[in-house]
Amino acid sequence: MKLVIASGKGGTGKTTVAANLAVTLAEMNEPVQLLDCDVEEPNVHLFLPPLGTTDQTVRSPIPRIDPVRCTLCGVCVQICAYNALATAGDHVLFFPEMCHGCGGCAHLCPEGSIAEVERSIGTVLRGQVHGLELVWGRLNVGLSLAPAVIAEVKRMAQPKATVIVDAPPGTSCAAVAAISDCDLCLLVTEPTPFGLHDLKRAAEMTRELNVPAAVVINRSGIGDKRVHAWCQENSLPILLEIPFSRQLAACYARGKLWVDEFPEWKDTLRRLWGQVEEYAHERTARH
Ligand code: SF4
Ligand code: SF4
């Protein structure tokens, strides 16, 4: 089972749910991997600092143009969908921060004047903590290649492990990369008009990706009931409501896990996992 925890915006408690659920499952003797795919701002390792971390560099190709062979035909500039190339006078200019490493320019250059060279775009780190394996990615500053680093983080998923993916917030390419190919997506939201607005966008994204979704409402008790009504109208089951609590907020602010400070949360998260499995099986059987 590969469960992704996502949200239409940051600050909903998505990472807290992912970390606490993963630790609870690891205590049930499941082999668990927690993949932090928020590669622009990874933070799960701050709650769960692992021991004995290993890391590996993520690389992506970029073009190197031979100015002697280049005839300035402009083909590479025209085909680059990311505006990473431009002609200026007697040069082709290259903007490395825009390049997505697709290789199209090298493939289509009629003069064969573009070679591909590798560059580092980020790092994937792994370590053991709380009986689970934590894997997280870190994108190099200034690059727009989060999906490539996320793909490398997800490549570490073991087929026999229960895999919890912490997705980046929002509905960007990075969120799409994290949610794609998962068995189920838990959308964490708040019962407020803003929460509903972002939940609608996130739910639409999961529909487009054909990943079944369910909802966790955090800070339940604030706001109104419009999220509940919308979920009912759109057949999105609400699997958990987390009441607004100063104690839980203070626990988060101290960088602690709820399940360490309030062990009764383990029962709640075990029940959530049971519902997740049941819903995933039901969806598989129905389709
Ligand atoms: S496609 Fe090749 S020959 Fe044409 S401008 Fe680009 S590098 Fe030069
Ligand atoms: S590799 Fe792709 S993204 Fe990069 S410059 Fe060439 S065409 Fe553009």
C-alpha pair distances (Å), 162 with each of 2, 59, 187, 218: 6, 27, 18, 23
Give Rg (Cα) of the chain. Answer: 22
Q: Which of the ligands is closest to the CA of residue 98?
A: 2
pLDDT digits (tens, 9 = 90+) for 81-98: 999 999 998 999 999 999
Instruction: Specify the domain boundaries for CATH 3.40.50.300 within the chain.
Output: 2-58+122-286
Q: Which residues contact 21 (CB under 8 A, 6 or more apart)?
A: 5, 164, 269, 272, 273
Instruction: Specify the CATH number for 2-58+122-286; select among 3.40.50.1950, 3.40.140.10, 3.90.1530.10, 3.40.50.300.
Output: 3.40.50.300
Distance from the alpha carbon of residue 62 to the mean position of ligand 1, in angstroms: 14
pLDDT at 204 over 80: yes
Q: How many whole angstroms from its chain centre is CA 88?
A: 38
Average pLDDT over the chain, rounded to an integer? 94
Distance, CA of 38 to CA of 150 (rounded, Å)? 8
Instruction: Specify the domain boundaries for CATH 3.30.70.20 within the chain.
Output: 67-112
For residue 76, the ligand 2 atom closest to its alpha carbon is 7
Distance from the alpha carbon of residue 177 to the mean position of ligand 2, in angstroms: 20
109 lines ligand 2 (CB under 6 A): no
Mean of pLDDT values over 196-214: 96
pLDDT at 36 over 80: yes
Tell me how many degrees the CA angle 120-115-122 measures, rounded to the nearest 5. 10
pLDDT digits (tens, 9 = 90+) for 132-169: 999 999 999 988 899 999 999 999 999 999 999 999 99
Q: Domain 67-112 falls in which CATH fold?
A: Alpha-Beta Plaits (3.30.70)
Tokens of 162: 């229960």
Q: Return the axis-axis angle of helices 264-286 and 14-27, rounded to nearest 10°.
A: 100
For residue 87, the ligand 1 atom closest to its alpha carbon is 5
pLDDT at 30 over 80: no
The residue length of the chain stands at 287
- Please tell me whether residue 256 adopts helix, strand or coil conformation: coil
- pTM of the entire structure? 0.90
Q: Mapped to the 3 state alphabet, what secondary structure does 41-58 carry?
A: CCCHHHHCCCEEEEEEEE
